[in-house]
């Protein structure tokens, strides 16, 4: 109703933090778009850039509303107040639904990172906050993937990013994961046993976070901070609804991406089988395998290494990453703590879901960070039942190699082994 009144008079709203008929009656308006920590505010600009007419009209409206409220009995004033709050809540619910509907409709054309970033910005905006974060909880329920921060958080945060964090080491900002329910801290700096946050992180005054629980596991948490006034149960409910909807969009997007990934690799597998029917040279077969699996654009990089039975050393015969990055490293691959060497010795595929944080070889993790890769898989190349080499693929996404894709990769390597045996015979 107030928005229509403003529009008819040539005013355009900028960013509305708390805006209702009741607020207009009780709080002075601000015209610079900045938030007062103690009071709600609104940024309003007239079509012709003038503010005097707006000030006069709003002041007159405030005076009329104040007189009207003063003339009403206490019970009627309470009703007016409750009606104004209900109207504001309905407007907020409608804005949330419209915002998430738009995000859901756009998800088909976005990456998962884009979905998360846009959803987080909406969570910050709709809760009238300044900063926000979104993190995933790993299946072990003991560690978090520190995944995304809002734009304003990045502006004020100078701490080095750490993509993994033990929940038991986290401060009260992770209480929603531990308690499995929304938590509100309206005086964060004076909380006992808050454990704080690392130097360089955004300063917290007020904080609120909620968990998303699915199949009895906490899957994701969203937190926001530094709202101008205290967070309340209405804020917590709004944030929880936003978080659940974002999680549903992410899950749907992952299913669609997984289906597309498998369909693309089915086509790749078909090309490999065609190559097996025409290639009559072992070396050429490995180069064709590398070319086809690289062209499918599923993997950040692919390389193939063969083992020298006499020296025990590995030689890269096809593919690899930028040599300046130091990957692949054949000498490192044959050490006991490397999944590549284990795949050769055991003759089975071995997977690393997060190479940057899940390897005991520090130099390997550093090289993975430089190359922007996370997941890796090593599959042995068998010839007459003996492991003679390894096929290695990398991906930039944590946990990229799921069970279905691994099974297709194993099927591909079985076909390669059959082709190698056929060349010998």
Q: Is 357 exposed, middle or buried (0-12, 13-18, 19+ CB in 10 A)?
A: middle
The class of domain 279-424 in CATH terms is alpha beta
pLDDT for 57-87, tens place per residue? 666 766 776 776 666 666 655 665 666 666 6
Taking residues 198-212, what's their average pLDDT? 83
In this prediction the pTM is 0.65
Taking residues 392-406, what's their average pLDDT? 88
Most trustworthy range by pLDDT among 2-6, 166-170, 208-212, 242-246: 208-212
Beta-carbon contacts of 232 under 8 Å, excluding residues fewer than 6 positions away, are: 184
Please report which confidence band the pLDDT of residue 46 belongs to, taking 50, 70 and 90 as the band edges.
Answer: very low
DSSP conformation class of 173: G
Q: Return the structure tokens found at 37.
A: 């920590």
- Pick the residue with more confidence: 389 or 369? 389
- Pick the residue with more confidence: 81 or 389? 389
pLDDT at 146: 74
50 pLDDT more than 50: no
Any idea which of 52-61, 113-122, 128-137, 205-214 has the lowest mean pLDDT? 52-61
CA 339 to chain CA centroid, Å, is 27
> Strand pairing partners for 49?
none
Domain positions in the chain: 2-71, 106-253, 279-424
381 pLDDT more than 80: yes
pLDDT at 397: 82
Q: Give the whole-angstrom CA distance, residue 140 versus residue 84.
A: 46
pLDDT at 269: 94
- Pick the residue with more confidence: 189 or 65? 189
B/e letters for 299-308, b = 16+ CB within 10 Å, e = fewer, are: bbbbbbbbbe
pLDDT at 206: 92
Grouping H, G, I as helix, E, B as strand and the rest as coil, residue 394 is strand
Q: Give the whole-angstrom CA distance, residue 279 versus residue 276.
A: 6
Taking residues 50-63, what's their average pLDDT? 60
Of 279, 297, 370, nearest in space to 329 by CA: 370
285 and 412 Cβ atoms separated by less than 8 Å? no
Q: Give the whole-angstrom CA distance, residue 386 versus residue 406.
A: 20
pLDDT at 346: 82
Q: Could you give the C-alpha distances from 183 to 177, 223, 335, 352, in angstroms and in order?
A: 9, 9, 47, 34
265 pLDDT more than 90: yes
284 pLDDT more than 90: yes
418 pLDDT more than 90: yes
Taking residues 119-141, what's their average pLDDT? 89
**Side-chain half-sphere exposure of 180, counting CA atoms within 13 A:** 8
Domain 106-253 and domain 279-424, same fold? Reply is: yes
Taking residues 187-215, what's their average pLDDT? 83
pLDDT at 272: 94
pLDDT at 45: 44
Q: Give the whole-angstrom CA distance, residue 72 versus residue 376.
A: 71
172 pLDDT more than 50: yes
CATH fold of 106-253: Beta-Lactamase (3.30.450)
Grouping H, G, I as helix, E, B as strand and the rest as coil, residue 223 is strand
């Amino acid at each position: 109703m107030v928005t229509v009144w403003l529009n008819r008079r040539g005013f355009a709203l900028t960013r509305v933090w708390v805006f209702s008929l009741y607020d207009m009656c009780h709080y002075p308006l601000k015209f610079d778009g900045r938030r007062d920590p103690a009071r709600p505010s609104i940024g309003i600009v007239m079509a012709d850039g003038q503010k005097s007419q707006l000030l006069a009209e709003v002041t007159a409206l405030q005076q009329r509303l104040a007189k009207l409220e003063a003339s009403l009995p206490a019970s009627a004033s309470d009703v007016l107040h409750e009606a104004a709050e209900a109207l504001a809540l309905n407007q907020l619910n409608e804005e949330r639904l419209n915002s998430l509907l738009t995000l859901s409709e756009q998800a088909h054309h976005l990456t998962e990172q884009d979905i998360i970033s846009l959803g987080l910005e909406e969570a910050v905006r709709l809760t009238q906050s300044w900063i926000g974060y979104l993190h995933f909880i790993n299946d072990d329920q003991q560690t978090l993937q520190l995944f995304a921060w809002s734009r304003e958080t990045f502006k004020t945060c100078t701490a080095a990013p750490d993509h993994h964090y033990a929940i038991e080491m986290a401060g009260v900002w992770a209480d929603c994961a531990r308690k499995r329910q929304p938590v509100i801290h309206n005086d964060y700096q004076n909380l006992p046993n808050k454990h704080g946050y690392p130097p360089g992180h955004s300063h917290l005054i007020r904080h609120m976070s909620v968990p998303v629980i699915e199949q009895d596991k906490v899957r994701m948490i969203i937190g926001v901070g530094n709202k101008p006034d205290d967070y309340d149960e209405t804020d917590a409910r709004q944030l929880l609804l936003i978080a659940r909807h974002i999680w549903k969009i992410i899950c749907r997007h992952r299913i669609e991406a997984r289906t597309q990934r498998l369909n693309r690799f089915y086509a790749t597998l078909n090309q490999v089988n065609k190559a097996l029917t025409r290639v009559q040279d072992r070396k050429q077969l490995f180069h064709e395998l590398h070319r086809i699996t690289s062209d499918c654009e599923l993997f950040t990089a692919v390389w193939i290494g063969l083992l020298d039975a006499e020296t025990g050393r590995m030689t890269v015969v096809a593919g690899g990453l930028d040599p300046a990055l130091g990957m692949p490293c054949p000498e490192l691959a044959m050490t006991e703590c490397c999944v590549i060497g284990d795949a050769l010795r055991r003759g089975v595929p071995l997977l690393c879901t997060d190479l940057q944080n899940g390897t005991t070889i520090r130099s390997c993790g550093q090289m993975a960070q430089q190359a922007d890769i996370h997941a890796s898989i090593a599959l042995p190349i068998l010839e007459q039942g003996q492991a003679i080499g390894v096929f290695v693929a990398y991906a930039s996404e944590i946990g990229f190699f799921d069970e279905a894709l691994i099974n297709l990769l194993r099927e591909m390597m079985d076909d390669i082994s059959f082709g190698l045996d056929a060349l010998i015979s």
